[in-house]
Amino acid sequence: MAHGKKYKDATRRYDREHLHGPTEAVDLVKSLASAKFDESIDVALTLGVDPRKADQIVRGTVALPSGTGKSVRVAVFATGEAADSAEAAGADIVGGEELVAEIEGGMLDFDLAIASPEMMPQVGKLGRILGPRGLMPNPKTGTVTADTAKAVTEFKGGTVEYRTDRYGNVHVSIGKASFEPDAIRANLGMLIDELNRVRPSSTKGRYIKKLTLSTTMGPGVKIDPNRLDEVTTAAT
């Protein structure tokens, strides 16, 4: 992948192979943000899991204390009272079978989908469309729920989904470059705490093997996995 002048200039300002403490890494990543828009702060982790084994798939949601800084468009598959409460909570798109039909027709103008349990037989038909895009509602992430209003409020307020890919990597946006450093560190610490909390009991050896922080357009800054207690509140 070819990188622009600003990216290349940023890589010359620090040692890309050095393992930084998380406190230092956050300050460095913020200083490297050079785009004209407010870049996201993204974290990429490699976990010591084998995603080929069902009991080692790491997946769930975590509420970031500082929020994400992003405006999330939420679609809700529901009818009746569940639909009314979701709409009142701020859902951007709400519907039942007609919403399923719209998506089958190509409408995908949303970032996250929530479904009430009774709608899942119809929503299941959209697996080939929503699945590859990471939009399929799932009970494990709280996106299949009878309390649609609560789910809408949480996801619009800073709850994010995490999951391992087939290589054991996890990618999560934890804020914006405009955030104060303490706000980014709080979000990072909460994510690490959550991943440690859901660590599969069958894993052995080092769990968080690699961790890199970056902005949307900037280079990655490596974080020392042995120094994560600088930002976490739980024992690691």
Look at the domain 15-68+159-230 and name its fold.
Ribulose 1,5 Bisphosphate Carboxylase/Oxygenase (3.30.190)
- Other CB atoms within a 10 A radius of the CB of residue 69 amount to 20
Model confidence at 235: pLDDT above 60: no
Mean pLDDT of the chain: 92
Q: CA 213, CA 97: separation in Å to the nearest integer?
A: 41
Amino acid at 29: V
| pLDDT exceeds cutoff 80 at 80 | yes
DSSP state, residue 106: T
Cα distance between residue 72 and residue 36, in whole Å: 21
pLDDT higher than threshold 60 for residue 167: yes
Residue 96: strand, helix, or coil: coil
pTM of the model: 0.82
Read out DSSP for 39-90?
PEEEEEEEES--TTSGGG--EEEEE-TT--S----EEEE--HHHHHHHHHTT
**In the chain, ranges of CATH 3.30.190.20 domains:** 15-68+159-230
Which residues of the chain are in CATH 3.40.50.790 domains? 74-157
- Domain covering 74-157 in this structure, CATH number: 3.40.50.790
SS3 state at 93: strand
pLDDT in tens, 23-41: 999 999 999 988 899 999 9
Burial 20-36 (b: 16+ CB within 10 A, else e): bbbbbbbbbbbebbbee
